[in-house]
């Protein structure tokens, strides 16, 4: 059984066994002496040789992997905040788009009007439709507002989903605090 110990000089991660507890080892990268903590403190360090050595190295403060996790956490957090702000903007726009009518209320209006119309008015309207055609030059205003509102709703949902995804990524990359003191600081006191 060996444990991962970070060099206070160059942040290299060294493997140290329990037999070296309370002693010192030489860093393989910079050649500096590293004070090995006592056995109780040594056992609190991440273990070397486990199946997930990379994850254990991520927990060693000052290691390159821990620095990469910190930057990833920061980047994911900033992106998440930006996405959630965009979602809030789109949500406000979605809620403020005024739709005066809907397709359903528009059709109900025509059904009521046709039920109240006389046969002569119906024939006159039919002749006007056949003469001018059924193509409208542009959409009804309420339909344009409905489409705009649906677009803002879609954007709100997409930005919210992406923001939540970035929060999840940031949670995974969150730097973990080591509960053991720095071996160099422990030997200095």
pLDDT, position 57: 46
pLDDT, position 5: 86
**Tens digits of residue pLDDT in 73-119:** 899 999 999 999 999 999 999 999 988 888 888 889 889 988 888 99
Distance CA 33, CA 4 (A): 15
In a 3-state reduction of DSSP, which class is residue 23?
A: coil
pLDDT, position 142: 84
Sign, Cα dihedral of 110, 115, 118, 122? positive
Structural contact between residues 12 and 29, judged by C-beta atoms closer than 8 angstroms: yes
Distance CA 85, CA 93 (A): 12
Of the chain, the end-to-end C-alpha distance in Å amounts to: 27
Higher pLDDT, 105 or 189: 105
pLDDT, position 50: 57
DSSP string, 51-73: TTHHHHHHTSTT-HHHHHHHHHH
Higher pLDDT, 147 or 138: 147
DSSP string, 137-184: SS--HHHHHHHHHHHHHHHHHHHHHHHHHHHHHHHHHPPPPPSSPPHH
> Mean pLDDT throughout 62-74?
69
> Mean pLDDT throughout 180-184?
48
pLDDT, position 143: 85
> pLDDT-based confidence at 53, cuts 50/70/90?
very low
* Share above pLDDT 70 across residues of the chain, in percent, rounded to a whole number: 81
> pLDDT-based confidence at 177, cuts 50/70/90?
low
- Rounded to the nearest 10°, the torsion over CA 20, 25, 28, 31 is 180
pLDDT at 171 over 50: yes
pLDDT at 179 over 60: no
Say whether pTM exceeds 0.85.
no
> pLDDT-based confidence at 180, cuts 50/70/90?
very low
β-bridge pairing 2-6 and 24-26: unpaired
Tokens, residue 57: 């190295």
> Bridge-partner residues for 16, per DSSP?
3
Distance CA 1, CA 178 (A): 20
Higher pLDDT, 162 or 65: 162
Q: Which of 31-45, 94-108, 148-162, 165-179 has the lowest mean pLDDT?
A: 165-179
């Amino acid at each position: 059984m060996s444990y991962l110990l970070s060099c206070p000089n160059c942040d290299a991660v060294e493997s140290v066994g329990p037999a070296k507890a309370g002693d010192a080892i030489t860093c393989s990268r910079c050649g500096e002496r590293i004070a090995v903590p006592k056995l109780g403190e040594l056992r609190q360090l991440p273990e070397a040789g486990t199946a997930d050595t990379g994850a254990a190295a991520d927990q060693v403060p000052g290691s390159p992997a821990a620095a990469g996790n910190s930057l990833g956490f920061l980047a994911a957090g900033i992106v998440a905040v930006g996405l959630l702000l965009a979602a809030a903007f789109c949500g406000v726009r979605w809620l403020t788009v005024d739709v005066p009518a809907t397709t359903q209320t528009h059709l109900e209006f025509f059904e009521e009007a046709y039920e109240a119309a006389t046969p002569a008015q119906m024939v006159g309207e039919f002749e006007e439709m056949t003469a001018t055609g059924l193509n409208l030059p542009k959409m009804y205003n309420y339909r344009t507002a409905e489409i705009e509102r649906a677009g803002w709703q879609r954007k709100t949902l997409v930005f919210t989903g992406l923001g939540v995804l970035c929060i999840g990524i940031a949670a995974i990359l969150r730097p973990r605090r080591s509960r053991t003191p720095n071996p160099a600081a422990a030997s200095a006191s």
